[in-house]
A and B are shown apart, each in its own frame.
Chain A
Amino acid sequence: MRQKFYTPYFFLAPALGTLLIFFFLPVAAAFLMSFTDFDIYSLGSLNRARFIFMGNYFRLLNDPLFWKALLNTCYFVLVGGPLTIAVSLLAAIGLNSRLLHFKNWFRLAFFMPVITTLVAVAVVWRYLYHPRFGAVNYLLSLIGIESVNWLGDPHWAMPAIIILAIWKNFGYHMMIFLAGLQAIPEYLYEAARLDGAGWWRQFRHVTLPQLAPTTFFVTVMTIIGYFQFFAEPYVMTQGGPLNSTLSIVLYLYNQGFRWWQMGYASSIAFVLFVIVFIIAILQLAMRKRQEK
């Protein structure tokens, strides 16, 4: 295609310029900031920030709140992630069944939580979890389970948030699984049936292996997304009770935008980055091994 040499750059300029100013330079700036003691005084004049080298990172190592946040986040990811994926997969298998009618209606119902505003549904669930008047405890009481102080009890607050997260997110992954299920060729099932495989063995030896790439993708997406959870605890518990729902991003927000410890908060952001990066690298390595 003939053209003046600058034409494509001209079309690229708005996007690349925006990314440079609001993404790439800030990443670099955040990296530098994580080695300074940038705080509320530095907001007024930048030269009040001093380089403290690895100071922030050493401080993180000895910060019990940071470890608590990291631990809570791992709890959320390691328990909430697999549960979300399992529910999504089951829902997708159900939706994919030839025996099921009203598929579009079911799909729409499962999808409602996905598209709605997280803050709004977190507010709704706050009331559903109310120890005295909440619908959750009411439904549990119908099957004889005693009422739980969901958001007020340090042991139950995180499970409560995990349940909300599963409810909110399973529909999204269900759609991806559904596409994966529909891509499995029918003759594989026919062959398995000819060999006398029942429902479970078809699932175990045809569905799961065929679905592996999809499952893999969904898992990585869920893990990375869940590592960044913020609004659920912010709206429902403010990280409490007893910091039992404090997440990494919530702690980062508190340090950076509540207490204006922006240098320290930057170091938290980079720890988050490193975690996400390691997960991505692991994913790549595992995929390479699978392909071999």
Chain B
Amino acid sequence: MKYLLHFRKKIISIGLHFAMLIVSVIALLPFLWMLSASFMSTGEASSFPPRFIPQHFTFDQYLFLFQRMNLGRAFTNSLILAVSVTVVSLIVNSLAGFAFSKFSFRGKRPIFVFLLSSMIIPGQVTMLPVFLLLNKLGLLNTYFGIIFPGMASIFAIFLINQYLKGIPDSLIEAARIDGASNFSIYWRIIVPLAKPVLVTLALFTFMGTWNDFLWPLIVMTKEEMYTLPVALNNLLGEHALDPELMMAGSVITIMPVLIVFMFLQRYYIQGILIGGVKE
């Protein structure tokens, strides 16, 4: 009997591993094909059955993208935007989170409730007026057209506020008695203590800005200002019949977020869970 139970467990375990393996293959196969097709010479990926190993391994597609299609410029734009939105929004949101969590002031509660309840408004509602505003200010096709609207996030303020509430006020009181200014309290106490939540937010903001499509598509209409996703979509317009080239472009677009994620995986998963538990 005991042996039989053990045997049953073994079968279930094998079945489970097999099922998970299949799901993993489905999850990864598109990436494998993308990567191998990107190293194929033109025309090679259009074959039946689909090929997963390049016959003539070549960097031609990548060279073409960087030398002729100016994808390096789009890469630089994406990088500049993702980094600056991340840095600026972290500062702006953490200052606000600091104010909400460690100060009492008139209107605090109503402002906070108002902010939270407006999180329900879908971002698409603001697209048209913000576009008109940026047009008036001459900020279309500039980095500011993406940085300004991305500077503040209600969700980020909320997360930082929640986190800072857990930090005892006595630390701040002690610093104040030592004569520390509010700004030095922010910089020397709040920011270092809030590091875990700030790293998580930084990761989400970086990846979110890098991956964003709709807003850059609207704001950046000149080719030299395209971000990678917009440039990739544009490339598809001219080179839809060159899968090898398009796959190389996809690899370039995906690689940076993948690398950042590999290093900071732990923080990303934490972020999902905070968002998941809190909402």
Contact = CB atoms under 8 A, between A and B. Distances in A.
A5 B269 contact: no
A173 B50 CA distance: 31
Interface string A18-33: 1101111111011001
Given A24-B118, A123-B246, A234-B233, A11 B27 contact: no
Interface residues of A, number: 90
B272 A172 contact: yes
Given A1-B172, A8-B99, A117 B20 contact: no
Given A33-B129, A123-B250, A175-B272, A18 B151 contact: yes
A8 B185 CA distance: 13
A228 B169 contact: no
A33 B173 CA distance: 49
Interface in B183-215: 186, 207, 210-211, 213-214
Contact of A269 (B104, B124, B151): B124
Contacts of B106: 5
Contacts of B126: 22-23, 26-27, 30
Interface in B121-149: 121-122, 124-133, 135, 148-149
Which among A23, A29, A121, A262 has the greatest number of chain B C-beta atoms within 10 A?
A23
Contacts of A124: 30-31, 33-34, 247, 250
A179 to B, nearest CB: 5
Interface of B: 9, 12-13, 16-17, 19-20, 23-24, 26-31, 33-34, 37, 45-50, 91-93, 95-96, 98-100, 102-106, 108, 111, 115, 118, 120-122, 124-133, 135, 148-149, 151-152, 154, 157, 169, 172-173, 176, 182, 186, 207, 210-211, 213-214, 218, 228-230, 232-233, 236, 243, 246-247, 249-250, 253-254, 257-258, 261, 265, 268-269, 272-273, 276-277, 279
Given A117-B253, A133-B47, A230-B214, 5 more contacts: A14-B151, A15-B151, A18-B152, A123-B236, A235-B233
Interface of A: 1-3, 5, 7-9, 11-12, 14-16, 18-19, 21-27, 29-30, 33, 43, 91, 94-95, 97, 99-101, 105-106, 108-110, 112-113, 115-121, 123-128, 130, 132-135, 138, 167, 171-172, 175-176, 179, 214, 217-218, 221, 224, 227-228, 230-231, 234-235, 249, 252-253, 256-257, 262, 265-266, 269-270, 272-273, 276-277, 280
